[in-house]
Chain A
Amino acid sequence: MSGFFATFCKELLLIRRDRAGLMLLFIMPAVLVLVVSLVQNNLLETSGTAVPVLLVDEDGGELAKRLTDGLQELGALTLVRQDGDPLDATAAQDAVRGGDYQFAIVIPPGLTEEVRSRARQLAEQSLAGEGAAAEPPLATAELAVYFDPTVQGAFRTAVLSSLRLVVLGLETEEKGKVLAELLPQRIEKLLPALPFGFGTPRPQLSFHWNSEPVLAVREQVALAGGLTKLPTAVQQNVPAWALFGMFFIVIPLSGTLLRERQEGTLQRLRTLPVSPLAILAGKVAAYVLICLGQFGFMLLVGKTVLPLLGTPMLEIGSEPGAIFFLALSAALAATGFGILVGALVGSYEQATMVGSVAVVVAAALGGVMVPVYVMPQAMQAISLFSPLAWGLNGFLDLFVRGGDLISVLPNAFGLLAFFAVTLTLAWIGFLQRNRRGG
């Protein structure tokens, strides 16, 4: 019992002396809880922040205004308009394809007129009764909804449902209005036909008009290069979790660096007639290779194992060179982060905690667990700084949006810049430690 108590007290004393460790033990989990809770807030709340949708009104008529008002009143969507220089349908599609928006609703020119004409035609046909000679039908006006192929089904359904609800209301209102206008006219027309004014005139109504739409919703994936396939969960999850795994290299890498420092190996290495950059480069290369191996393995799982479990096979697009370049950039970023953690921490426990918590936070912010577009605005702004977000966005661009090397360059350069910054900070930390003789 005395051994237990002595050990218990000793451990408490050790923990108390390790201020950095204490910070990690208490502050880091708090940060993790905060970030993950904020990120997932919108998913779990029924009245959370509305999904932002780009609205392009090329009609400008009364119906377009009522449609817009109806969507705003519904509150499920946040309509974003380009006020200064209004966009057209092509520009809206480009904005979605480029990832600036996840959805765009385009109200085509002449929609108000088309809806009303069609409603009038349908009403007239209805009043003409069954068997009356039908005019050739007018075209049904169409609202176009463009969506990012990476958008998950639940969010797509939410946007379409909101839109269809408002459209149904508008349609009923318009049909009702026209019918209210034409029905009395029809009754008046029928009155003289009745002998001696007996009976009630009964216009022959066809209810066919009720099922005929006057305003349709056309959903379209904003794909580049004529791709027509919708993305699968596999295409989202494989790169997302592959990146997550690659960044977890931080734990073995920082642990290795720490051991080298603590066990005197680094001291020995520094007395050898070899450039420290060569040693560093060798280390980086080894871990980058491991990261690439991880990534390749994940792709292989997506291609061969997941289909056996009933999921669609992973489609990776047609740009293997761009995929390799982006994976290499991500591997370098992960390795740079591992080296930074290894250079700054003072114990293996710190390395493990800092590494794992930082990666989980970066993954949550980067859209690995929850899509970035459903996060609150503040979290979306923070997510711009997550290297996992850059990597994931790049891979989705290649796998899903039909992107190429040029389109993923910004993401790849972001990752390479992250590698350069982490390596520089690690080097500064290393030099400072040497100056202190640590």
Chain B
Amino acid sequence: MNSTVVHSGPPADPLPDFQPLAVDGCEAVVLQVQQLVKSYGRGGRPAVDGLTFDVQEGEAFGLLGPNGAGKTTAISVMCTLLRPTAGSVHLDGIDVQAEPGRVRRLLGLVPQEIALYPRLTGRENLRYFARLYGLKGLELEERVADALELVQLQEHADRPVNSYSGGMKRRANLAAGMLHQPRILFLDEPTVGIDAQSRNLILDSLSRLRQAGTTLVYTTHYMEEAQQLCNRVAIMDGGRIIAEGEPAALIAGRAGCANLEQLFLQLTGSHLRDD
């Protein structure tokens, strides 16, 4: 599955050959989003406008869209960070709005920013977040070690995060989000602005997580990544889903599209989104 698509981010690098997991129709629905609306202030256009989709156990679901499409807002609502204006989100059958405390035990978030304490070491950061997840003792140390190993930061674990390269910080950011082995992991552009090697390693780590049963909800601007990592994608624009399905099926169903990026540009237009 080697792609020749060149995107505006980092140069196209060979990515690990991920095989999207076959999704059995009988798999349990982990995430159910229904008619989700989120508006900021009165009178403005909703950032998310009637979003509806399901994500099944073990899926890697890509949420794609141009800047301002509503991806981050949608993830924020799903992760209990924002209250929806209307609609509902259920995670493992639990209403996110009604029982945010229970939902938080099931989810992990890898935000766009490097959400770590720069002056703490990688290991100190992970220990801190692991404690907040309720881990302790030997289990905590094992999880921290596993997470460091997954993102290959064992050798640098005792260095302050502010001495890390951009790629190392992104990897540590991922490690902090999956320490507690969440049922579903939300990743908001986890590979922005990093070197090819780190990007490759992050995608490899995500693939391993998925194989271990973790459900992924993934936003990215890099279509190549989405095409290779996600078994299903939804393309958003203006707060709405304008296309949803398996990448190959979406590409095949649209004339003149050889890959997901071409499909994306056809659907969302090639004009700049500077808002």
A residues at B contact (CB < 8 Å): 262-265, 267-274, 279, 434, 436-437
- Which one of A267, A273, A434, A436 contacts B111 once the chains associate, using CB atoms below 8 Å? A267
Q: Which residues of A contact B134 (CB under 8 A)?
A: 273-274
> Is the CB–CB distance between A437 and B80 below 8 Å?
no
Interface string of B26-62 (1 = CB under 8 A from A): 0000000000000011000001000000000000000
Please report the total number of B residues contacting A with Cβ < 8 Å.
29
Contact of A265 with B104 at beta-carbon distance under 8 Å, contacts A270-B80, A273-B133 already known: no
- Which one of B40, B109, B116 contacts A271 once the chains associate, using CB atoms below 8 Å? B109
- Which one of A263, A271, A272, A434 contacts B113 once the chains associate, using CB atoms below 8 Å? A263
Q: Name 29 A/B residue pairs within 8 A (Cβ), A-sorted.
A: A263-B114, A263-B116, A263-B118, A264-B114, A265-B115, A265-B117, A267-B76, A267-B81, A267-B111, A267-B115, A268-B109, A268-B115, A268-B177, A269-B132, A270-B81, A271-B81, A271-B107, A271-B108, A272-B104, A273-B101, A273-B133, A274-B132, A274-B134, A279-B132, A434-B82, A436-B40, A437-B73, A437-B76, A437-B82
> Is the CB–CB distance between B105 and A267 below 8 Å?
no
B245 to chain A, nearest CB (A): 28
Interface secondary structure of A, over-half rule: helix
- Which one of A264, A265, A271, A437 contacts B79 once the chains associate, using CB atoms below 8 Å? A271
B165 to chain A, nearest CB (A): 17
Interface secondary structure of B, over-half rule: loop
Q: Which residues of B contact A262 (CB under 8 A)?
A: 113
Task: Check if B129 is an interface residue, CB within 8 A of chain A.
Answer: yes
> When A and B form their complex, which 6 residue pairs have the shortest distance between CB atoms, in order from nearest?
A264-B113, A264-B115, A268-B115, A273-B104, A273-B105, A264-B111
Task: Check if B200 is an interface residue, CB within 8 A of chain A.
Answer: no
Q: Bound state CA distance, A36 and B195, in angstroms?
A: 54
Q: Bound state CA distance, A269 and B131, in angstroms?
A: 12
B125 to chain A, nearest CB (A): 9
Q: Which residues of A contact B79 (CB under 8 A)?
A: 271
Q: Bound state CA distance, A97 and B114, in angstroms?
A: 58
A278 to chain B, nearest CB (A): 9
Name the interface residues of B129-154: CB closer than 8 Å to any CB of A: 129, 132-134
Name the interface residues of B186-244: CB closer than 8 Å to any CB of A: none
Task: Check if B251 is an interface residue, CB within 8 A of chain A.
Answer: no
- Which one of B40, B111, B118 contacts A268 once the chains associate, using CB atoms below 8 Å? B111
